[in-house]
């Protein structure tokens, strides 16, 4: 009976943040997670490490369902509970109401042979299922349904006495996408999978080190960006690193793997003010808009200006790129604000009865009629998943009586599931799947006068500064860089 | 210990909504209040009228502190509690935590000699204090500290037997700004003060009539805009109106008063997609930007493009107007997205320690560095109240290393309090007051390379389509259209 | 779907407590209300008076639904909110979930011409309806459905300038049962109706004065009992009283009225450790048991001892009196613990399905089988209202295989409603009404081997030390000491 | 800042309940846990097993801090969440506020190689620490600090494929006190330690079987008591048992162990209406009172009756036994109700300031003055732990001006900690320890005219029907039936 307004776009599983060596570790993690809120809105948690009077390490945790500002709503949490100079935090994309799912909120903490261990994970392991089965057969007890928990068990069962070595061996066992921060009794450890699916960056705030998903988490803290964690790299921060200023770095494996960054991070997912995969997201997103204009322009009929509008705020940058390029092509066009977005959308909304189905999109958007009436309108959006929202938006714009509506999408048709951490709906819900990627048919269904997507080739051209071959585009192309177990695939489709 | 992030701009007291003759009256009021959320974020409430099995009218209420989506978080409220075909609702700008203030959340309901009566009020009465004193001396018991409650007592004590006449006499007694919706056992009544300080509009949804603050509340419901409630008009909707389609209209007084619309509604307060005071807000706001560009342009130095950016989202439209006009003036300029605004700001935020004072603005905004670095930047904003946020924003932009920062404000310097419903901080907190409206000094204080405001004359010119003399600009000029009691003024300053 | 386990007995409307001149006024009120919890379990509230920095009186309130320990669950309430040296408090018997009913929780506070005024009321006014109508016709606005609110309006509309005189005139207008505590800006005032239906007692704690419903509220505070408030007396405590030690006393009327104490206070309602109506409740209750034994003994069959058991805890004292007297009559008998009562009953319980209807009483009681098996059992109880619980209890005892069960009730058959503050179910739910007071038929229905009630005459004999004519026994006899308006009666029956 | 009113007596760790084969399994568990509420008031939980549409077993859990009626406060829990025909439940004595402790609330559930497994435990393992260390060294990850969790790990790591065999081997490894119920995908299993420290009983409700701590949990359900689980016995209930009516029984070990029932269960802990260790608790408790009277009588001085009172409700039965025996000894005595206990004690109470230290006991008890004044009073209590409450009680009684107060305790002096599940305060807080069991000194400290305890020998004589040698009395004698690890002892003392 409630509309979920956050889920019209795919959601990535999660943002991570770790800090070592700050007096305000937990509060800074809170700000960092707030800056990463777009990576997961449904739950979050922070773990800190402090030292007891007797000198023993103590791990403290606070986590819950909701936005960072909802879960951490009391100053007391930071003053009395989450104390200590080391902290890790996590934003999670999805939990349902059950007790089980509350367990699934990260970070996870365990106490094992060599002490405390906490972990926060962004990504998705593709061989978690088989490792889990193996560990269960050996008597391990799992508390969650999360693939992340296998990492903890792999470390706990490891007979070595060096924790970094234990982590390294665990990293060698797991496959798929992982950008991890781990906290032990005396270290902050980060690891990124050899393909580098998800971003992970290193920064510095005074003497403290931060490792997190995107650089926008540095900006909120006025922290300095140092470098990215390399694909296949394990980074260790401890007291020695603080003193020497030399970050400890290890390789998961001697073998090198091709880089396979998630292209969706550039298209939609990361914040435009972040720097990831070697480039500013804003610049890449603008380039997607430009390539879109160049290959799929909208020309003036008659004398009138073409009006370019974005779906705020996610495609603002792309639309700007599109309009700039279109103008260069000689089209008389103008970027306009044709849609107003409500600032006050919570996570759920009371659903209306049958009489008024359009309320869904109207809760979020309204048109500025004077801008649209009688005009040739180009609506720029970054992607279409189910098409439901797009259809409602088009209807909304149509009610403002434009001359025509031209939809331009700065990515290709989404036709396949993601096994590396992006949360798409099932294949049957993907509009491009349902129309066999027949773009005209999609356009007709959505009710626009014309529609164009970028081709995969065009998309890769737009991001080519970062290397055309360095991207995973499996959700568009079906070409999966890492072999995925068939059982796993089946599970993904079915649940 | 918490930052209040909603209060950097003045807040108007409230949005109102009333509907008569709909099966989904309460749910539609909920959507309407959501569309009016910008008029008040701290509390809200809805009252409905239903008919008992015995045929008696029943008034039901649900209200609380928080956003509409927070207070009305359960479908049950609409299904079982707020039933009936008539409803009124209210968004309120401010309550503090005390039990007393919960009483102050509107709508108010009472039961009096002629039945039930509920009221929701946008505005501020300037003679409430003296009427209240008079009523208390006669034995009336007040439950709230709100000026709105005197309206209820005036009606309850009136000896006439016609409710519309009672309301009319009450309206004749009160002075100041009021856009009211009232609900009786068989009517929806609306009234607007003779000067028309605040907007109030009439719409139709199938057979039902709606009266509300702004037309954006019609759009969310796909309702049709009919006309504005005239200044000094009382409008009555009842079953006869539903059947005849003829809205009943009365005059508060035979004497006519000059129109004195709040110019701040155009500058900042109303939503750009609304139509009020006879015009589209979007158009007026854009004109403010154009007049600002014409009178206070920023020219290119050297060859480089001037970058125009807005403070999202409130000055987006103004910035667009500014850039369009600047281009017409021959300046090589471009509208850019230089600031990213977080979507996930709740009403409060845990405050940092002393070390990091800039966190306040960083929680809300981040710069897109690539856009700003080395550029001549024009930052367009609609108004400056305290200057605190502006100063932090300028610092934030400065960190991105622009060539220069030029602040352009699409209103004049705020130097006086508002007695008609806009909630400014005390005089001592107004930056323009503190610098005696010395604009250069303000600019120096804010850290910009240049700063310009619109003059009052320029501001009025921009909105002249609606009649230069038809606006109240007391907060800029100190010219109050209605004499205000000195005690009242004193109280306003001191509390 | 939930069993309400508190309501098997009639409930009186409320306990009151007021204190003047103590540094811990609110905390002492909290303890006092806890001691009076048996007088009302569904809601409670406390109001305190403190003095602002500018020397103005401030009334602060905290109230809510639930037990005293539930509503006042935070030390902060006493430290920061309910400050000041004067306080009044109230326990309320019943509220339903609606917002309206939260308003009905006492104490009530208003601000009127002569300052603040708070009131807490135990009893029921019989002419509230007509006074209310009169006040409404004159323009008064009522906030609650409570009869107590008319008292506030009578005072607020009074044109005199002496508050005690105002209160006196209000007391002269109202009829029915009232034991009131009122708080003004500089006084604690108490008043008791001329018939003295409900108890009201005065005590002293160091320099402070306390006025409350029962003396057990003094014991918890180690306060000293001084005297009862006389029927028809108004008592005033202010700074002069504190200094002089002379309590100010006024008469509501010069005419004297017959005393009509509620006999149910002795039978069941008051705590056995209280002193009210000039006597110890414990002693009176024991006498009820003794008179019951003398007039309605159970004799031994054969040699075996008769086992006397009580329904714990309410009839413990009565059972002790019964057994003592029975022994004197030469019956070989013994008081035993045959029923164990659970300590952990909250206010509601999840209801079972149809299969197990007896769970209701089993949640609260269990038998000690060894005590009952094969025995002649006398079950002593103080009263029977609906009979539902009695029937289940008898069934429970029967399952323990006694030889026989003899029910003895220390009051008469309840056949009429109470208009003075005791909350019985409707006539149709009273078992004695349904069986036309045919005691044998009742016994058969309940499943006992014999049953006896006290007659009204025997009941009055038992309490004769306090004067046979000084009691109201309308619920048993239908003889109402104060004429009750027919409309009111009808309302009482129907709602 | 809050008084904990539940902890004046030692608390046992927990009550357990399991049911197999009922349509209302969870609701019956709820009632059962309510009947066992005295065994643990601070937290509780229920797990059920249902079958998914695909035929897979599903374990569902609901648990939380508070009384059974507080944690299970919604009918929905039983209708939609805790479905299925098998359930186990647990009442827990103590949790503190941390997240960690919420994890510690039982039952625990895990998923392991052979399926789901849930456990609820009453007792305390004395070798949990060493087993845990061993398991951690092998890579097990523990989620709680509870000794119960080692049982789950022992089973999960067991390589056998028969779950009953796995449980048997786990039982062979653990030492100490345990009365357990376990639930697997198709069985309800119960186990009791070879010494039989804690009770565990088997009952039948229609076709379903119940295994629980005390028989009072059968009474509330009208279930039939079958027999006790034998010390050292493992009982299995599955579908075959339901059909055959033959309970499956296994021995933990072939070796027999001496029975060592906790004598405190008879003295204070179990409910008087329960049957455990082969006898009615009520009868045993009465015998303790009789032996106390015989060995430690109080004689009349002069002619006056001796007044025997209990500390309600826990020593009611004992006081009855004492008075009966005293009368037989020819003493003119009478059982009286001298103390009234409040029904409305929640788990915490706002603490007073320094001025009024006696409030602690007064919140719970008040004296009936008329009963005590001028009398020779015998106060019968079951045990003294810290002595704090006793001292306050004596002071309270003294205020009622008795002639003399004689304290009689139906157990011996408590001087040693319990390692088998009873939760005493640290040795330094035990009054008998502090006064070296000098009874006269204790009496002087408490302020009584005389005091007597039972000797250990007298205590054992009182329970001799169940076998003098069959009891553990370590807390009185320091003779521990099972060797306890020194580290463990130390830990117990220190934490």
SS3 track for chain C: CEEECCCCCCEECCEEEEEECCCCHHHHHHHHHHHCHHHCCCEEEEEEEEECCCCCEEEEEEEEECCHHHHCCCHHHHHHHCCCCEEEEEEECCCCCCHHHHHCCCCEEEEECCEEEEEEEEEEECCHHHHHHHHHHCCCCECCCCCHHHHHHHHHHCCCCCHHHHHHHHHHHCCEEEEEEEEECCCEEEEECCCCCCCCEEEEECCEEEEECCCHHHHCCCCEEEEECCCCEEEEECHHHHHHCCCEEEECCCCCCCCCEEHHHHHHHCCCCCEECCEEHHHHHHHHHHHHHHHCCCCCCCCCCEEEEECCCCCHHHHHHHHHHHHHCCCCEEECCCEEECCCCCCEEECCCHHHCCHHHHCCEEECHHHHCCCEEEEEECCCCCCHHHHHHHHHHHCCCCCEEEEEECCCCCCCCCCCCEECCCHHHCHHHHCCCCHHHHHHHHCCCEEEECCHHHHHHHCHHHCHHHEECHHHHCCCCCCCCHHHHHHHHHC
What is the least distance, in Å, from the CA of D206 to any CA of chain C? 11
Nearest to C350 among D30, D222, D355 (CB): D30
Render pLDDT for B72-92 as a digit per residue (tens, 0 to 9): 988 889 989 999 999 999 998
Q: Which residues pair with B365 in a beta bridge?
A: B341
Taking the C-alpha atoms of residue C244 and residue C247, their distance in angstroms, rounded to an integer, is: 8
**Cβ of A173 under 8 Å from any chain D Cβ?**
no
> A75 vs B2: CB contact, 8 Å cut-off?
yes
What is the least distance, in Å, from the CA of B491 to any CA of chain A? 33
> C366 vs D320: CB contact, 8 Å cut-off?
no
Residue B351 confidence (pLDDT): 64
**Cβ of B336 under 8 Å from any chain A Cβ?**
yes
Tokens found for residue D125: 């393992």
Give the DSSP H or E segment for A120: strand A115-125
Whether the pLDDT of residue B94 is over 90: the answer is no
Q: At what angle do helices B149-157 and B128-137 cross, to 10 degrees?
A: 50
**Cβ of B156 under 8 Å from any chain C Cβ?**
yes
By C-alpha distance, which of A280, A276, A264, A293 is closest to A382? A264
pLDDT band at D489 (very low <50, low <70, confident <90, very high): low
Render pLDDT for B347-365 as a digit per residue (tens, 0 to 9): 566 766 544 556 778 989 9
Tokens found for residue A382: 């970054």
pLDDT band at A345 (very low <50, low <70, confident <90, very high): confident
Tokens found for residue A172: 């060698």
Whether the pLDDT of residue C116 is over 70: the answer is yes
Chain B, 215-254: which have a CB under 8 Å from a chain A CB?
216, 219-222
Residue B253 confidence (pLDDT): 95
In chain A, residues with a C-beta closer than 8 Å to the C-beta of D109 are: none
Task: Between D278 and D76, name the one with better pLDDT.
Answer: D278
Q: What is the mean pLDDT of residues C18-45?
A: 95
> C356 vs D222: CB contact, 8 Å cut-off?
yes
Neighbours of B360 (CB within 10 A): 19
By C-alpha distance, which of A428, A424, A432 is closest to A451? A432
In chain A, residues with a C-beta closer than 8 Å to the C-beta of B350 are: 27, 30, 72-75, 77-78
Chain C, 42-61: which have a CB under 8 Å from a chain B CB?
61
Do the two chains D and A touch, given a threshold of 8 Å on CB pairs and at least 3 pairs? yes
What is the least distance, in Å, from the CA of B81 to any CA of chain C? 9
Q: Are A357 and A16 in contact (CB under 8 A)?
A: no
Whether the pLDDT of residue C12 is over 60: the answer is no
Whether the pLDDT of residue C350 is over 90: the answer is no
CA distances, B453 to each of B293, B350, B410, B476, D39 (Å) = 11, 34, 6, 11, 74
pLDDT band at B413 (very low <50, low <70, confident <90, very high): very high
Pairing of strands B176-184, B188-192: antiparallel
Q: What is the mean pLDDT of residues A230-241?
A: 98
Residue D94 confidence (pLDDT): 63
Q: What is the mean pLDDT of residues C86-90?
A: 98
In chain A, residues with a C-beta closer than 8 Å to the C-beta of D138 are: 157
> A113 vs D153: CB contact, 8 Å cut-off?
no
By C-alpha distance, which of A323, A281, A293 is closest to A305? A323
> A73 vs B324: CB contact, 8 Å cut-off?
no
Whether the pLDDT of residue B167 is over 60: the answer is yes
Render pLDDT for D39-63 as a digit per residue (tens, 0 to 9): 988 899 999 999 999 999 999 999 9
Residue B106 confidence (pLDDT): 94
Whether the pLDDT of residue D36 is over 80: the answer is yes
Please list, in sequence order, all residues whose beta carbon lies within 8 angstroms of the beta carbon of residue D206, skipping any fewer than 6 positions away.
D22
Pairing of strands B275-276, B279-280: antiparallel
pLDDT band at A7 (very low <50, low <70, confident <90, very high): very low
- SS3 state of residue A245: coil
Q: What is the mean pLDDT of residues B205-233?
A: 97
Task: Between B427 and D409, name the one with better pLDDT.
Answer: D409
pLDDT band at B10 (very low <50, low <70, confident <90, very high): low
Whether the pLDDT of residue B493 is over 60: the answer is no
Main-chain dihedrals φ then ψ at residue A328, nearest 5 degrees: -60, -35
Write down the ipTM of this complex: 0.90
Q: Are D11 and D94 in contact (CB under 8 A)?
A: yes
Tokens found for residue A57: 């390490």
What is the least distance, in Å, from the CA of D2 to any CA of chain A? 19
In chain A, residues with a C-beta closer than 8 Å to the C-beta of B75 are: 1-2, 350-351
Render pLDDT for D298-342 as a digit per residue (tens, 0 to 9): 998 777 899 999 999 999 999 999 999 999 999 999 999 999 998
Residue D385 confidence (pLDDT): 93
Whether the pLDDT of residue A483 is over 90: the answer is no
Q: What is the mean pLDDT of residues A178-203?
A: 97
Whether the pLDDT of residue D395 is over 50: the answer is yes
Nearest to C143 among B138, B143, B153 (CB): B143
Whether the pLDDT of residue A241 is over 60: the answer is yes
Whether the pLDDT of residue D78 is over 60: the answer is yes
Q: Are B422 and B475 in contact (CB under 8 A)?
A: yes
Closest residue in D to A151 (Cα–Cα): D141
Nearest to A366 among B220, B341, B350 (CB): B220
> C156 vs B139: CB contact, 8 Å cut-off?
yes
Q: Tell me D383's DSSP state.
A: -
Nearest to B156 among C61, C62, C139 (CB): C139
Range in B296-305, B384-393, C449-458, D373-382 with the lowest mean pLDDT: B296-305
Q: What is the mean pLDDT of residues A125-151?
A: 92
Burial degree of D215 (CB within 10 A; 0-12, 13-18, 19+): buried
Q: What is the mean pLDDT of residues C315-336?
A: 96
Residue C86, preceding bond cis, omega within 30 degrees? no
In chain A, residues with a C-beta closer than 8 Å to the C-beta of D61 are: 99
Q: What is the mean pLDDT of residues D393-403?
A: 96
What is the least distance, in Å, from the CA of C30 to any CA of chain B? 19
**Cβ of D255 under 8 Å from any chain A Cβ?**
no
Where do the H-state alpha helices sit in A186-331? 216-219, 239-244, 263-264, 281-295, 316-328
In chain D, residues with a C-beta closer than 8 Å to the C-beta of C341 are: 313
Residue D358 confidence (pLDDT): 66
Taking the C-alpha atoms of residue B435 and residue C374, their distance in angstroms, rounded to an integer, is: 97
> C111 vs B141: CB contact, 8 Å cut-off?
yes
Locus of tokens 């089973």 = D155
> Which residue ranges form the domains of chain D, and what is each CATH number?
2-257 (3.60.20.10), 280-480 (3.40.50.2020)
- Which of C50, C59, C139, C158 to substitute to test the interface with B, most B CBs within 10 Å? C139
Q: What is the mean pLDDT of residues A319-337?
A: 96
Nearest to B156 among C99, C141, C157 (CB): C141
> D99 vs A140: CB contact, 8 Å cut-off?
no
- Range of A227-236, B414-423, C3-12 with top mean pLDDT: A227-236
Closest residue in A to D115 (Cα–Cα): A136
pLDDT band at D344 (very low <50, low <70, confident <90, very high): confident
Q: Are D15 and D212 in contact (CB under 8 A)?
A: yes
Neighbours of A247 (CB within 10 A): 18
> A316 vs B336: CB contact, 8 Å cut-off?
no
Q: What is the mean pLDDT of residues D231-252?
A: 98
- SS3 state of residue D139: coil
Q: Which residues pair with A118 in a beta bridge?
A: A109, A183
Chain D, 275-314: which have a CB under 8 Å from a chain C CB?
280, 282-283, 312-313
Taking the C-alpha atoms of residue D477 and residue D485, their distance in angstroms, rounded to an integer, is: 18
Render pLDDT for B240-287 as a digit per residue (tens, 0 to 9): 999 999 999 999 999 989 999 999 999 999 999 999 999 999 999 999
Q: What is the mean pLDDT of residues C186-201?
A: 97
Taking the C-alpha atoms of residue A150 and residue A140, their distance in angstroms, rounded to an integer, is: 10
Residue A461 confidence (pLDDT): 98
- Which other chains touch chain B, taking contact as 3+ CB pairs less than 8 Å apart? A, C
Render pLDDT for A250-306 as a digit per residue (tens, 0 to 9): 999 999 899 999 999 999 999 999 999 999 999 999 999 999 999 999 998 777 899
Closest residue in B to C63 (Cα–Cα): B99
DSSP letter for each residue of D352-379: P-GGGTTHHHHTTEEE-HHHHTT-EEEE
Residue D486 confidence (pLDDT): 58
As a whole number, the mean pLDDT across chain A is: 91
Whether the pLDDT of residue C28 is over 60: the answer is yes
Chain C, 181-210: which have a CB under 8 Å from a chain D CB?
none
Residue C132 confidence (pLDDT): 94
Q: What is the mean pLDDT of residues D387-392?
A: 92
Whether the pLDDT of residue A130 is over 50: the answer is yes
Tokens found for residue B138: 């006669």
Taking the C-alpha atoms of residue B321 and residue B454, their distance in angstroms, rounded to an integer, is: 14
Whether the pLDDT of residue D29 is over 70: the answer is yes
Please list, in sequence order, all residues whose beta carbon lies within 8 angstroms of the beta carbon of residue C184, skipping any fewer than 6 positions away.
C114, C115, C116, C117, C163
Range in A339-348, D106-115, D290-299 with the lowest mean pLDDT: A339-348
> A111 vs D152: CB contact, 8 Å cut-off?
no
Residue D224 confidence (pLDDT): 97
Locus of tokens 């602060």 = C60
Closest residue in B to A395 (Cα–Cα): B222
By C-alpha distance, which of A334, A328, A290 is closest to A308? A334
- SS3 state of residue A304: coil
Q: Which residues pair with B279 in a beta bridge?
A: B276
What is the least distance, in Å, from the CA of C367 to any CA of chain D? 7
pLDDT band at C166 (very low <50, low <70, confident <90, very high): very high
Taking the C-alpha atoms of residue D32 and residue D205, their distance in angstroms, rounded to an integer, is: 12
Render pLDDT for B308-326 as a digit per residue (tens, 0 to 9): 999 999 999 999 999 999 9
Q: Which residues pair with D236 in a beta bridge?
A: D189, D248
CA distances, D223 to each of A363, C401, D228 (Å) = 56, 16, 14
- Whole-model pTM? 0.86
In chain D, residues with a C-beta closer than 8 Å to the C-beta of C24 are: 352-353, 355
Residue C345 confidence (pLDDT): 72
As a whole number, the mean pLDDT across chain D is: 91
Residue A98 confidence (pLDDT): 42
Do the two chains B and C touch, given a threshold of 8 Å on CB pairs and at least 3 pairs? yes
> D143 vs A110: CB contact, 8 Å cut-off?
yes
**Cβ of D92 under 8 Å from any chain A Cβ?**
no
pLDDT band at B9 (very low <50, low <70, confident <90, very high): low
Tokens found for residue A337: 């604000």
Range in A218-227, B331-340, C1-10, D185-194 with the lowest mean pLDDT: C1-10
Active-site annotation of C, residues:
14
Chain A, 359-398: which have a CB under 8 Å from a chain B CB?
359, 362-363, 366-371
In chain B, residues with a C-beta closer than 8 Å to the C-beta of C153 are: 139, 141
What number of CA atoms fall less than 13 Å from residue B197's CA on the CB side?
27
What number of CA atoms fall less than 13 Å from residue A417's CA on the CB side?
19
**Cβ of C137 under 8 Å from any chain B Cβ?**
yes
Q: What is the mean pLDDT of residues A14-31?
A: 96
Taking the C-alpha atoms of residue D396 and residue D387, their distance in angstroms, rounded to an integer, is: 14
Active-site annotation of B, residues:
14
- Which other chains touch chain D, taking contact as 3+ CB pairs less than 8 Å apart? A, C
Render pLDDT for C230-250 as a digit per residue (tens, 0 to 9): 999 999 999 999 999 999 999
Range in A68-72, C101-105, D347-351, D372-376 with the lowest mean pLDDT: D347-351
Q: Are C199 and C218 in contact (CB under 8 A)?
A: no
Taking the C-alpha atoms of residue B111 and residue C149, their distance in angstroms, rounded to an integer, is: 14
- SS3 state of residue D215: coil
Backbone angle region of B465, left / alpha / beta, with phi > 0 → left and psi within -120 to 50 → alpha: alpha
Percent of chain D with pLDDT over 70: 91
Residue C427 confidence (pLDDT): 86
Q: What is the mean pLDDT of residues C116-129?
A: 94
- Which of A139, A158, A161 to substitute to test the interface with D, most D CBs within 10 Å? A139
pLDDT band at A353 (very low <50, low <70, confident <90, very high): low
């Amino acid at each position: 009976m409630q509309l979920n307004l956050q889920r019209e776009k795919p959601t990535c599983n999660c943002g991570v943040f770790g800090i070592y060596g700050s007096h305000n570790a937990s509060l800074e993690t809170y700000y960092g997670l707030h800056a990463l809120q777009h990576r997961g809105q449904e739950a979050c948690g922070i773990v800190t490490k402090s030292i007891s009077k007797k000198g023993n390490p103590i791990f403290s945790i606070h986590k819950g369902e909701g936005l960072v500002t909802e879960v951490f709503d009391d100053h007391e949490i930071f003053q009395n509970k989450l104390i200590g100079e080391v902290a890790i935090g996590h934003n999670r994309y999805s939990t349902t109401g059950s007790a089980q799912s509350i367990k699934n909120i990260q970070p996870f903490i365990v106490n094992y042979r060599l002490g405390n261990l906490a972990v926060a994970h962004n990504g998705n392991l593709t061989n978690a299922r088989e490792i889990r089965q193996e560990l269960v057969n050996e008597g391990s007890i799992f508390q969650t349904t999360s693939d992340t928990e296998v990492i903890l068990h792999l470390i706990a069962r490891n007979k070595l006495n060096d924790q970094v070595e234990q982590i390294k061996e665990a990293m060698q066992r797991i496959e798929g996408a992982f950008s991890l921060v781990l906290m032990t009794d005396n270290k902050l450890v980060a690891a990124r999978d050899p393909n580098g699916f998800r971003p992970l960056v290193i920064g510095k705030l005074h003497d403290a080190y931060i490792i997190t998903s995107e650089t926008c988490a540095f900006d909120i803290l006025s922290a300095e960006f140092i470098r990215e964690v390399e694909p296949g790299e394990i980074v260790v921060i401890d007291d020695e690193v603080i003193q020497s200023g030399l970050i400890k770095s290890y390789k998961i494996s001697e073998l090198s793997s091709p880089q396979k960054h998630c292209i969706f991070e550039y298209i939609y997912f990361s914040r435009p003010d972040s720097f990831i995969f070697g480039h500013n997201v804003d610049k890449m997103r603008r380039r997607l808009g430009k390539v879109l204009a160049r290959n799929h322009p909208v020309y003036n009929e008659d004398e009138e200006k073409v009006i370019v509008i974005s779906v705020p705020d996610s495609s603002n940058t792309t639309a700007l790129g599109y309009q700039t390029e279109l103008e260069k092509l000689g089209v008389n066009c103008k970027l306009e604000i044709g849609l107003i977005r409500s600032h006050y959308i919570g996570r759920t909304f009371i659903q209306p009865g049958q009489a008024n189905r359009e309320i869904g999109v109207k809760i979020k958007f309204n048109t500025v009629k004077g801008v649209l009436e009688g005009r040739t309108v180009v609506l720029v959006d970054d992607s279409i998943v189910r098409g439901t929202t797009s259809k409602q938006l088009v209807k909304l714009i149509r009610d403002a009586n434009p001359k025509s509506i031209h939809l331009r999408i700065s990515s290709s048709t989404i036709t396949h599931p993601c096994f590396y951490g992006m949360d798409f709906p099932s294949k049957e819900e993907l509009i491009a799947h349902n129309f066999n990627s027949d773009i005209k048919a999609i356009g007709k269904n959505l009710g626009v006068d014309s529609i164009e997507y970028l081709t995969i080739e065009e998309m890769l051209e737009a991001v080519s500064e970062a290397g055309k071959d360095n991207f995973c585009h499996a959700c568009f192309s079906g070409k999966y860089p890492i072999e995925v177990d068939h059982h796993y695939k089946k599970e993904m489709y079915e649940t």
